[in-house]
Structure 1
Amino acid sequence: MMRHIAKRAIARSLSLLSLSAILLEPLVLPVFAAPPRNPDQTVDCDILVVGGGLSGAATAYEGLLAGRTVCLTEITDWVGGQISAQGTSALDERPTQRQQLFYSRGYLELRERIQRKYRQLNPGDCWVSESCFLPGDGHEILSSILRDAARRGRGNLRWYPNTVVKDLEFNPNRTVIQSAIAIQHRPARGTAPLNTLPLSQTLEDAYRYENSAQLDKTIIRFTPRRQAQGTAPNWYVVDATETGELIGLADVPHRLGIDPRSFLEPSSASATGDPYCTQGFTYTFAMEATQEPQTHTPPPFYDQYAPYYSYELQRLADFGLVFTYRRIWSPRTGEPQRFGGINFTAPTPGDISMQNWTWGNDYRPGTSQDNLIYTREQLQATGQLQPGGWLGGLRTETLRRGEEHAKGYFHWLVAGTTDSQLGDGVKRPYPNNRFLSGFNSPMGTAHGLSKYPYMREGRRIIGRPSPAHPDGFMVWEIDISRRDYNDAYYRETLSPSTYRALKAALAGLEATQALQSQNPQNVARRTRSTIFPDSVGIGHYAIDFHPCMTFSPPEAPGNTEREGERQGAGQAYPFQIPLRALIPQRVDNMLIAGKSIATSHIAAAAYRVHSFEWSAGAAAGTTAAFALERNIAPYQLVENLPQPQPQLEALQRRLQANNNPIAFPNTSIFNLDWGNWR
């Protein structure tokens, strides 16, 4: 056993990885179900992008610049995901990458247009980011970027807001998606406009073919724009949804939640894994500082959620600091303040803050009774994998609780006097604030919550098997973490053979020394992330956790975060996005963009922020256009690695020529000077 693990560790250090065993149930792809009436429209595309978040927008952007016809669907009526419909319009960036402006071209254009819109990059004068702005403006800016990309590239953008994919039709071998059936909804005649009700009250209705009391439906069939040429796919379907929705619908191999502990994922909180413990999701909202005190009445459900709320840490226990953390609009600058070592300017009347706080409006279920994203077994049990049974793959009751939880947090901020983590005497009321709601409010909803929750983690594919990866490709914790793994926790938690394999896998060119040494903890580890020969994008962010809670419901008095979940948190090296992480098993014309690429639970905690999403989407859009042009399937670009792949190299050259970086400056197995990247 020791010899076997050691060989695997050496192979990994040479970029010939072999993953730990992954148990997969037999794959049964859903059978296409005919809708109850003929489709109202048939629309053809070169690239169908499902999900209009940042990654979906980036996919569309590159496809349009390549002259392709791109169909872009989105469950809400705003494009932009994190920066718009999810309300987190505060760009998460790392200092070194930001200082060098080393980003994909489309992301740079987004930043430039924010600057142009406000005549500054940070109209909110927030302290968490260099750029905090209004979500509705994020939608407008990104919409104009896509329109201009279509004009410049002579592409064709077909935009379908308020649209979800209901069914997929496969070829007889179930390797190619031949068409997709989608449902676009609008308010039924005589009913309130969309965005009047929160998502939990409309989600499942949006996925049903039949018209309802609140929604009228249009059934759209998406098909390829061109005839097949040879055996290569004639169109591509890109899953850029926030939860890996098509991954669940197509039933391709994937993981959810915590991965089993191994030398590849040594900080895992579970020896066996736990699919129910994903990172928390957040319904954001906006609040405005006022000159005069406001009257605040507790919502009827407040007492249920009040035991959860907290400033979390003593160094964060200041209302002004929390308000300005993600302040998205500030008409005038307040007095300089400092609390807990953080500088900010005091809130002033008219300031608008977007709230996204771990022990605030984060909702963090973690058990089979309340998890938000259904596992494969739960999808089967609820009938969502049956023909025509797909309803989005989410637990709507948990969405509802998350909505209540967020509104309760606002009341705690302005009127609460308890703190679940810091005790009595810390929290006092701040009545000079009001909750912003209405169609003209920052979130664009009558209820005031974001149109869709901010998602940190969804289903994550397992990439294709290969001789080097017999159980499927995955980016793991040790591929990106800066941790040295020398502390007692790892020596005591991991078996001696697993610990030696860990040190060998991290030793880079010194792997043999690590395996032969009597004291492997003394062997120096490489000081960079894994270099992937098939890199098609970049990202850099800390491994940042918003862990699930231990018991159900999350707001239960005295509940705690899942033990060990923060063990993997910490700094990461600048990292790459391998093409293999975008290619699912078995379906040849599907690509994955955004948070659902093949990363582990811990790696996903860094592979989830704004600039990464754009880079992954740029890679997906460029790859789809390249594959159509060359009549080659994406998996063929990487199936013989590590041997040289001329077509892969041509794709990488195209990405770089288009100012979409695939590696950080001076990336090399011999460059160990990454200590200054922060």
Structure 2
Amino acid sequence: MQLTEEHAEIVIIGGSIGGCAAAIAACTLGKTVLMTEETDWIGGQLTSQAVPPDENRWIELFGGTYLYQQFRKRVRDYYMRNYPLTADARKQHYLNPGNGYVSRLCHEPRVALAVLHEMLAPFHHSGRLKLFLNQRPTKVEVNGDTVQSVTVKDTLSGNERVLTGQLFLDATELGDLLPLSGTEYVTGAESQEETGELHAPTGPAQPLNMQSFTFCFALDYFPDENHTIDRPQTYTFWRDYVPEVTPTWTGKLFDWAHPTPTTLERRQRTLFDNDSLWRYRRLIDKDNFAPGTYQSDISLINWPQVDYLLGPICEVPEEEVARHLEGGRQLSLSFLYWLQTEAPRPDGGLGYPGLRLRKDIVGTEDGLAKYPYIRESRRIKALFTVLEEHVGLEMLGGGKAAPFADSVGIGHYNIDLHPSTGNDNYIDVPSAPFQIPLGALLPIRMKNLLPACKNIGVTHITNGCYRLHPVEWNIGESVGYLAAYCLDYKVDPADVHASAHHLQDYQRLLRTQGVQLNWPNIGAD
């Protein structure tokens, strides 16, 4: 085993959406950056987790940073340059390659990966950015309230690197640096008594009550062929499994019916129709492309039937983490096998054996995404914590979200919590278009460690609207600019928040870089 050392001004652990945005931001301002990633694909939710962007309804016009909009434009340009689109598709100003109805930009994860590498390429080539793939953090050296170094281990070779810098950003999907560094953090569900939130649980806090994770996968369909996979080891368990959640589920997990997230009423679905699950996160609509390019649509399976809620994958022993990760894989493969063999069809038959697992879409041997889709992370104990009363429409009485004078960005999405390891059903309630306060990005004690992903100062409840793609991008990007600002002015991040002069200058920098700090007047609709 070899041990090497690397140094840069800023060290980013985690190549998530937030990590990539932070790296672009910091390098744009001339800083040197080291960035690591646990898998061999940067991009987190967009790539290794294979999930097209969940966005606010105004995203084509506003509600995302200039850099995020550039990412979206580059994805569309990638298809325009490299794919044989139909004449009608080329006329679409807002091309949606998959025409999935959950997102205005449903696309293949490999395209997002290519675009992110394009955006990072100038900094790679100039030497300003060094990227290390297949790296997991194993150790953090701390002196008082200051991180000195992070040791990462190569998951393929076993070799280790010690990374040193002046500022450290945790852009991992689960907030891995927080326990390693002794940074104060919370997990799971805070109690209603603690936060006063309308939808928080009563009684004591539930630190292991976290949103379910999902191993996503992609399928195409050939009705006259048989692509049935081998029967998964735990198929019988999952075929018969009934989620033990409150309020109650609609029956077995493997069924065409499931609760409507916002009302929990039973919703009956089908595989193929205008409101089908197939169209929900469809990555490729073959009709957007010249005849013969694709023989079938390609759909990303991130549906209620593949949410794993039997246990969390952080804050538990490693053997339990491994058991739940394997359980999540078995759940997804079992659902695919059910779709192929036992799913009821409208004609009275059973199964769709022509469903084919597209391993190439996600770049793995088993056909499942490289990393589970993570909806909830460890979260720093921050100088300011965003509560439901700040953003939830019910607690706001239908008004606007709380204004934050220290805003570093904006976002919007429902407070959308999937069924959880604490046996909660969906919690999906409306929120107002909100701001991202700088105070929520600052740990209560640590001086040079910043969150750059879903690990900011939110609660179990408000995480539900701050966890989506454009908000995570905005968090990472603003943190990248903050780190660069601190280096330029030789101040700690908390000093920027405490000083009106520094805060105004930092916010001016954000505006200059195309970060929106306030929502326009969008009216009731």
Confirm or deny a common fold (TM above 0.5).
yes
Rounded Cα–Cα distance in structure 1 between residues aligned with 2:349 and 2:57: 32
TM-score relative to the length of structure 2: 0.87
SS at match of 2:159: strand
Q: Is the 8 A contact 2:43 2:116 kept in 1?
A: yes
SS at match of 2:148: strand
Corresponding letter in the other structure for 2:116: L
Aligned partner (choices 632, 636, 659) of residue 495 of structure 2: 636
| Alignment-derived partner of residue 182 in structure 1 | 152
| Alignment-derived partner of residue 332 in structure 2 | 406
Q: Can you list the C-alpha shifts for 1:54-108, whole angstroms capped at 9, x where unaligned?
A: 00000001011011111110000111101100111x2111212x24233112211
Rounded Cα–Cα distance in structure 2 between residues aligned with 1:71 and 1:184: 15
1:254 deviates by 1.4
Are 1:217 and 2:150 matched, yes or no? no
User: Which ranges of structure 1 fall in alignment gaps of 5 or more residues?
Assistant: 1-36, 187-215, 225-234, 335-347, 383-390, 465-472, 486-505, 507-524, 551-560, 667-672
Give the 3 Å change call, closer, same or farther, for CA 139–333 of structure 1 in structure 2: closer
Residues 255-654 of structure 1 mapped to structure 2, 5 A cutoff: 255-262=186-193, 264-296=196-228, 297-307=230-240, 308-311=253-256, 312-313=258-259, 315-320=267-272, 321-332=276-287, 349-358=295-304, 360-365=305-310, 370-374=311-315, 378=316, 382=317, 395-417=321-343, 428-437=350-359, 441-464=360-383, 473-483=384-394, 506=396, 525=397, 527-548=399-420, 561-562=423-424, 566=427, 569-639=428-498, 645-654=500-509
Give the 3 Å change call, closer, same or farther, for CA 418–268 of structure 1 in structure 2: farther
Q: Is the 8 A contact 2:227 2:355 kept in 1?
A: no
| Alignment-derived partner of residue 205 in structure 1 | none
Rounded Cα–Cα distance in structure 2 between residues aligned with 1:55 and 1:412: 35
Aligned partner (choices 107, 116, 120) of residue 68 of structure 2: 107
1:674 deviates by 4.5
Q: Is the 8 A contact 1:113 1:141 kept in 2?
A: yes
Rounded Cα–Cα distance in structure 2 between residues aligned with 1:149 and 1:571: 40
Rounded Cα–Cα distance in structure 2 between residues aligned with 1:87 and 1:106: 21
Q: Is the 8 A contact 2:208 2:421 kept in 1?
A: no
Rounded Cα–Cα distance in structure 2 between residues aligned with 1:265 and 1:529: 15
| Alignment-derived partner of residue 109 in structure 2 | 135
Q: Can you list the C-alpha shifts for 1:418-456, whole angstroms capped at 9, x where unaligned?
A: 79xxxx99994222211122xxx0010011110000000
Q: Is the 8 A contact 2:141 2:181 kept in 1?
A: no
Q: Is the 8 A contact 2:223 2:352 kept in 1?
A: no
1:300 deviates by 2.8
Give the 3 Å change call, closer, same or farther, for CA 634–332 of structure 1 in structure 2: same
Rounded Cα–Cα distance in structure 1 between residues aligned with 2:5 and 2:160: 9
| Alignment-derived partner of residue 490 in structure 1 | none
Aligned partner (choices 509, 513, 517) of residue 658 of structure 1: 513
Corresponding letter in the other structure for 1:109: Q
1:394 deviates by 7.3
1:351 deviates by 1.4
| Alignment-derived partner of residue 339 in structure 1 | none
Rounded Cα–Cα distance in structure 2 between residues aligned with 1:479 and 1:427: 50
Q: Can you list the C-alpha shifts for 1:457-498, whole angstroms capped at 9, x where unaligned?
A: 01111113xxxxxxxx21011111111x5xxxxxxxxxxxxx
Give the 3 Å change call, closer, same or farther, for CA 426–182 of structure 1 in structure 2: farther
Q: Is the 8 A contact 1:528 1:674 kept in 2?
A: no
| Alignment-derived partner of residue 94 in structure 1 | 56
Corresponding letter in the other structure for 1:65: T
Q: Is the 8 A contact 1:65 1:150 kept in 2?
A: no
| Alignment-derived partner of residue 147 in structure 1 | 121
User: Which ranges of structure 2 fall in alignment gaps of 5 or more residues?
Assistant: 81-88, 90-94, 241-252, 260-265
Report the number of matched residues: 484
Rounded Cα–Cα distance in structure 1 between residues aligned with 2:14 and 2:112: 16
Rounded Cα–Cα distance in structure 2 between residues aligned with 1:398 and 1:425: 36
Q: Is the 8 A contact 1:463 1:598 kept in 2?
A: yes
Q: Is the 8 A contact 1:86 1:453 kept in 2?
A: yes
Rounded Cα–Cα distance in structure 1 between residues aligned with 2:36 and 2:280: 32
Aligned partner (choices 165, 168, 182) of residue 251 of structure 1: 182
Rounded Cα–Cα distance in structure 1 between residues aligned with 2:173 and 2:420: 18
Runs (4 or more) in structure 1 with deviation over 3 Å come to 148-151, 313-316, 424-428
Identity %: 29
SS at match of 1:595: coil
Rounded Cα–Cα distance in structure 2 between residues aligned with 1:115 and 1:349: 21
| Alignment-derived partner of residue 73 in structure 1 | 36
Q: Is the 8 A contact 2:393 2:431 kept in 1?
A: yes
Q: Is the 8 A contact 1:52 1:81 kept in 2?
A: yes
1:329 deviates by 1.6
Rounded Cα–Cα distance in structure 1 between residues aligned with 2:122 and 2:202: 48
| Alignment-derived partner of residue 247 in structure 2 | none
> Which structure has the bigger radius of gyration?
1
1:407 deviates by 0.5
Rounded Cα–Cα distance in structure 2 between residues aligned with 1:107 and 1:295: 38
Alignment RMSD (CA, Å): 2.4
Q: Is the 8 A contact 1:243 1:458 kept in 2?
A: yes
Q: Is the 8 A contact 2:308 2:331 kept in 1?
A: yes
Q: Is the 8 A contact 2:56 2:63 kept in 1?
A: no
TM-score relative to the length of structure 1: 0.68
